[in-house]
Amino acid sequence: MKLDQQYLKDLLIAFEKTRGPDTMLSELEDNGFNRYDQDFIFHMRLLCDYELIVRVDGKPGFGHIMSKALGEGVGYSWIEVPLRLTARGHDFIADLRQKDVWQAIKTNFKDEGISTLMSVSKSLAKGFAKKKIKDITGIDIE
């Protein structure tokens, strides 16, 4: 599967929108995501791989577990576990929420992977912040 940057951004926003510090899969479903959808599973795995989300109990994964039913082979099932957006995840979505950053990514980095997306969004956000500081104060920040 290929990374869908808009889907990833929307998923991070859904984590951010939850009422409490923890996020349950049911809350993500309330925001339009389907835990059985392959795009959802793929993008959740990426969020875990890059430690943008973690389980509150510190165990690996996000509740999508491999199971072996008697005589039926290997399959997957779900357990409802509290997840949280990490500080790194909050920083990443804060960068992506900036209109100038998101527009630059969609225009110039639309086919890049998540590690490049994270690096570029952070660099762009810093660059735009430095420009804004200079516009406000006249001081060039290095």
The pLDDT value given to residue 140: 86
Residue 108, H or E segment: helix 99-108
Q: Rounded to two decimals, what is the model's pTM?
A: 0.89
Helix (H) or strand (E) holding 76: strand 73-78
Give the separation between CA 113 and CA 43, rounded to whole angstroms.
12
Chain segment 71-125, per-residue pLDDT in tens: 666 678 889 999 999 999 999 999 999 999 999 999 999 999 999 999 999 999 9
Q: Which domains does the chain have, with CATH numbers?
A: 5-137 (1.10.10)
In this model, does residue 43 exceed pLDDT 80?
yes
Taking the C-alpha atoms of residue 83 and residue 88, their distance in angstroms, rounded to an integer, is: 14
Q: Which residue has the higher pLDDT, 42 or 65?
A: 42
Residue 70 has pLDDT above 60, yes or no: no
Helix (H, G, I), strand (E, B) or coil at 34: coil
pLDDT above 70 covers a percentage of the chain that reads: 95
